[in-house]
Amino acid sequence: MRSDISFKTTDGLTLKGWLYAPVDATAKLPVIVMAHGFTAVKEQYLDRYAEVFAGQGFAVLVYDNRNFGASEGLPRQEADPLLQVRDYRDAITYVSSLDNIDAARVGVWGSSYSGGHVLQVAAFDRRVKCVSSQVPAISGSADVRMAVRPDLLPGLIEAFEADRAAVYAGEQPLLMEVVAEDPKADCALPGQDCFEFFTESGNSVAPAWRNEVTLKSIELLNEYEPGYAIDRISPTPLQVIVALKDTVTVPDAALRAYEKALQPKNLVLLNCGHFDPYLSEFKASSGAAIEWFKRHL
């Protein structure tokens, strides 16, 4: 059963999403809190995960990140990772207050950008009792340097500085495309697999998704290092799901981070690309998460 929900963040925004719960549940439920990755909205297949999690006895809170989709926040289309991490914690506070939720059994799930976020959340928020991090972002600065040619990086830094000055002077923030069909075009997420996933899902299931993001979002990504505290998650059980053919959040970074993590932990290797866990490898990715949450929640 799915219901529309909204909750307030500590800085006063209203974030909107869905609450899933098993039909005819009588006891208080363990809950999984989840949000999407870079620029994505909840309709881009998070409902699939929530449905199968709920089918296994979990309540699931799914919401749009601030500035995206149905949620409030300005500037629109700006992905601030540190604020998104705080929003996860506010989502935990909200859902833990509900009468049908067992606040002692809270798990977090994230994928790609939010896969990095849940590492940060679990490292410092002991209300989290289990975490599953799928194809996680580990180092924003490494991701930027992989996507941008070294000779173009100084120009990008100059663009960050010019955009900051313009916004300070009262102008609107500079927007850029998230994905582009032309491999030579400037965009936030280059690559054919990124283009196909976002445009196909945007056309078919997620009309709220927009192919634009603020330039500042790239600057904030460049400053974000979610993998640094992975060894602080223990004793909270950690699962990391790695796509071995991932060209967006490359597997070697996730594997190095996993080696740094302490027990209890679980590594799942999928022989696929970054976006396949939502689609062709959905059964494998969701099944691994279900097994981990059932074991620890």
CA distances from 192 to 141, 184, 221, 252, 254 (A): 22, 11, 21, 21, 22
Question: So what's the pLDDT on residue 165?
Answer: 97
Q: Which domains are present in the chain?
A: 2-138+225-296 (3.40.50.1820)
Question: So what's the pLDDT on residue 22?
Answer: 93
Q: What are phi and psi of 188, to 5 degrees?
A: -75, -40
Residues 6+ apart with CB under 8 A from 39: 68, 77, 79, 178, 188, 189, 198, 209, 210, 213, 217
Question: So what's the pLDDT on residue 251?
Answer: 97
Q: Which helix (H) or strand (E) holds 87?
A: helix 81-96
Q: Count CB neighbours of 183 within 10 A.
A: 10
Question: In the chain, which residues have pLDDT < 50?
Answer: none
Spatial distance between the Cα atoms of 267 and 127, rounded to a whole number of angstroms? 23
Question: So what's the pLDDT on residue 27?
Answer: 92
- One-letter amino acid identity for 267? L
Chain segment 222-255, per-residue pLDDT in tens: 999 999 999 999 999 999 999 999 999 999 999 9
Question: So what's the pLDDT on residue 259?
Answer: 98
Question: So what's the pLDDT on residue 70?
Answer: 98
The three-class DSSP label of residue 150 is: helix
Question: So what's the pLDDT on residue 183?
Answer: 87
Beta strand pairing status for 2-8 and 29-35?
unpaired
Spatial distance between the Cα atoms of 75 and 131, rounded to a whole number of angstroms? 30
Considering the entire predicted model, what is its pTM? Answer: 0.97
Spatial distance between the Cα atoms of 278 and 19, rounded to a whole number of angstroms? 20
